Amino acid sequence: SLYTYDPLSRDYDELRLVKLQPRCSSSHIEIEIIHVPSSAPPAYEALSYVWGSSERTHNVIRIQPRHLSISRNLSVALEHLRLRKKPRLLWIDAICINQDDIPERNQQVNKMGSIYSKARRAVLWLG
């Protein structure tokens, strides 16, 4: 079944991060989505990449026990960014923002500058 987002706190003082599972755990891309306080998040990296097609139907990633459709370009990026033995904590706009929740999307887009500035580093994926 498809992944259903848990809502962010009402005051939007939190953000979602993607815990990208290591290669050794599965041949499929597996992630966990966690909520963290935006004022004091754990160390994470922000992924910047070209979305490509606006359709989110090409590749599917596992969020146990559910699935999420993502673009092919993002799927390739995640495949290359997986570490061998430990998870990697990332902020990825296409996954961390519920694209179907317009008020949340607007609020989170307004916070993107802060989200990128609080990241340990930005990772640029050119494909």
pLDDT for 54 beyond 60: no
Q: Are the C-beta atoms of 17 and 92 separated by less than 8 Å?
A: no
Q: Are the C-beta atoms of 40 and 102 separated by less than 8 Å?
A: no
DSSP characters over 36-68: EETTSPPS-EEEEE---SS---SEEEEETTEEE
pTM for the model stands at 0.89
pLDDT digits (tens, 9 = 90+) for 64-121: 788 888 888 899 999 999 999 999 999 999 999 999 999 999 999 999 999 999 999 9
pLDDT digits (tens, 9 = 90+) for 5-51: 999 987 768 999 999 999 886 678 999 999 999 999 999 999 998 76
pLDDT for 56 beyond 90: no
Q: Which pair of structure tokens corresponds to residue 120? A: 């340990």
Domain spans in the chain, listed from the N-terminal domain onward? 14-125
Q: Please report where in the chains the tokens 């673009």 appear, as a residue.
A: 71
